[in-house]
Amino acid sequence: MLKTTSVSILKKKYLRFLSSQEVQSEPFYNKLGQLKNFYVPICDKIYRDFKKNKKIKVIGLTGGQGAGKSTITQIIKLILNYKYNLNVVYFSIDDFYKTLKERKKMSKSIHKLFKTRGVPGTHDTKLLRKTFSDLIKKKFKPVLIPTFDKSKDDRAPKKKWKKINKQPHIIIFEGWCVGARAQKNKNLIKPINILEEKKDPKLIWRKKVNKELKNEYSKIFNKINRLIFLKVPSFECVYKWRLLQEKKLKLTSRGKKIMSATQVQQFIMYYERITMQMLIDLTRKAYAVLYLDKKHRFNKIRFN
């Protein structure tokens, strides 16, 4: 049901949230313009889709590292909840990373690069499928959603998991590779960066990642009703914005392990191949494409 609330109150809530997310020297630009021209139109579309049959809708939200997926997800949740009275549950594919112990085991049995979280194959797809199933079943019972502590590179203990007590109208599923598609095997042959060239000369890692994307991950991504793609202007911006994420983490992690600039540069190489392919595929295939400029602002929206 559409809430008949003051637009000015919604703006205040939105601006208050943005202020809580800002990092020194990295303010959000054109806040009210972004709200009017991008966030509200997206939320209106989601609401109208839900209103057609009142069935739970799964919204995928994806984009390159550091594109702002988590912040944007929370803004969409705020608007859907406050303006339309919709109950929204959101979680990231990052919440479902396999434990460090499980990834260490993969690194020994399959390929050493699987110790590093990120690519398809490093998520607990069984737990992810169960979570979706539990959230949409008719006889709803409270659902626990895992959390992942990136500063420790391991899954948080169960007592810190998020408990969902009320069935949602909307599920927002965000993550850097959400909605990604597998490549043809012939396209895996040429290495895309030094990591692939030096660490995966026999293509074992690349082929396994691609196989996971084609099989287990496509089954999960098929649950998405609408996919929103945050299109970064270049992969160079992914590096810059991922550094900003580490800056934010440093301010909130109380001395826990933080990646250096060199470590970030090495880390995003794991993501480069799929990110570049998504820029090709999802620009054409995503339900909504939000174009980001180099200053991290939306400058265009397109509905496919």
- Report pLDDT for 25: 52
The tens digit of pLDDT for each residue in 227-252 reads 999 999 988 888 888 887 777 767 66
Q: What is the residue type of 59?
A: I
Q: Tell me if 296 sits within 8 A of 232, measured CB to CB.
A: no
Radius of gyration (Cα) for the chain, nearest Å?
19
Cβ contacts of residue 121 below 8 Å, gap of 6+? 106, 114, 208, 209, 212
Q: Tell me if 200 sits within 8 A of 119, measured CB to CB.
A: no
The tens digit of pLDDT for each residue in 158-183 reads 999 999 999 999 999 999 999 999 99
Q: Tell me if 43 sits within 8 A of 80, measured CB to CB.
A: yes
Say yes or no to pLDDT of 277 above 90: yes
Nearest CA-CA partner of 98 in 129, 66, 77, 121: 121
Q: Tell me if 9 sits within 8 A of 35, measured CB to CB.
A: no
- Report pLDDT for 96: 97
May I ask the CATH class of domain 7-298?
alpha beta
The tens digit of pLDDT for each residue in 34-71 reads 999 999 999 999 999 999 999 999 999 999 888 889 99
- Give buried/exposed letters for 214-245 (b at 16+ CB in 10 A, else e): eebbeebbeebbbbbbbbbbebebbbebbbeb
Count CB atoms within 10 A of the CB of residue 37. 14
Domain ranges of the chain: 7-298
Q: What is the residue type of 243?
A: L
21, 168, 238, 263 from 231: Cα distances, Å: 21, 27, 11, 24
Distance CA 175, CA 81 (A): 21
Bigger pLDDT: 272 vs 259: 272
- Report pLDDT for 296: 81
Q: How confident is the model at residue 26 (pLDDT cuts 50, 70, 90)?
A: low
Average pLDDT (194-218) is 97
Q: What is the residue type of 232?
A: V
Q: What is the DSSP letter of 290?
A: E
Q: How confident is the model at residue 254 (pLDDT cuts 50, 70, 90)?
A: low
Distance CA 232, CA 69 (A): 11
On average, the pLDDT of the chain sits at 91
